[in-house]
Homo-oligomer: A and B are copies of this chain.
């Protein structure tokens, strides 16, 4: 691992050779889906007691908000069996990261708790910054409890995340804490980049370039997925080279995931995404499909640029027309290609790491499963 703690996170280095596109067809096999579901459940079960303990040691009020955010309780603090708990992707990656380097998954538990708490922290604070009132079909924490309490609950989760890792037994704790710290800086930078995109023009000088978008997505989404795998490997005693490779695989996974999210943000089925159709376009978000479309040149790209420049606020009809233009200008195809390239790169990077079976196979299954949505 490089030791550049205080420097701003490096610009995305996850270039993918142009030839490596459209290789993997995303599997939708039920076998894969079942395996991944079992796998996620197994890892969640393994991490759960420590996660419950970590949340239980928070101040009761921040603990209640944390339990709500994690989908364990409703906004009155009562257990909520219908609460939409996350899949636990990050905790699963941490456990598999350790197993894939030949260690017992148990050593990764403090890392798994840390990344899950950091993920929850970032959702809480990002929802405040983005004024996003809905999270997993329920009011976001700041909507349910108020902005101030939402800020506080996020702070509590972040502090507890670092604490749990810093107090982990074993010889690899310090390295794990340093890795988590670098990730926290990357996360915050990614969010800063994303928020700053809002003020930038759609085209011309100062417009967001696709490469800048990739950097933002790597920081905001990729870094924590990479960190989850890396923490498992670090706590499992893996050499630096393996840690770096796993981190890179997780980052590719994150970039693929973000690309798919961007596709769903425009063309996703509202019944599945829980968001209105063309949501990202209505919000004027500078997502990858739009940026790629604008960068493509051609008539549709030009028309799209004129349209986006001309309207103050994008209504439903304009959004529908904009979505057509993005598609016509190659934004959807280009983003699909981006997702496939990074998913392929993630699988390929895993193979570079000479991992131990069956965890190595399980990681492959999980990677495929995470992109296994209709896009």
Contact = CB atoms under 8 A, between A and B. Distances in A.
Interface in A139-189: 147-149, 151-152, 154-156, 158-160, 162-164, 166-167, 173-174, 177-178, 181-182, 184-185, 187-189
Contact of A125 (B57, B58, B130, B151): B151
A306 interface: no
A8 B162 contact: no
A8 B195 contact: no
Among A147, A187, A188, which residue has the most Cβ atoms of chain B within 10 A?
A188
Nearest to A183: B159
Given A147-B147, A174-B174, A181-B167, A129 B158 contact: no
Nearest to A150: B151
Contacts of A166: 5, 174, 177-178, 181
A335 interface: no
Please tell me how many copies of the chain the complex holds. 2
B148 A130 contact: yes
B182 A7 contact: no
Chain A interface bracket (under 10, 10 to 19, 20 to 34, 35 or more): 35 or more
Among A131, A156, A158, A185, which residue has the most Cβ atoms of chain B within 10 A?
A185
Interface of A: 3, 5-8, 53-54, 57-59, 61-62, 125, 128-131, 147-149, 151-152, 154-156, 158-160, 162-164, 166-167, 173-174, 177-178, 181-182, 184-185, 187-189, 191-193, 195-196
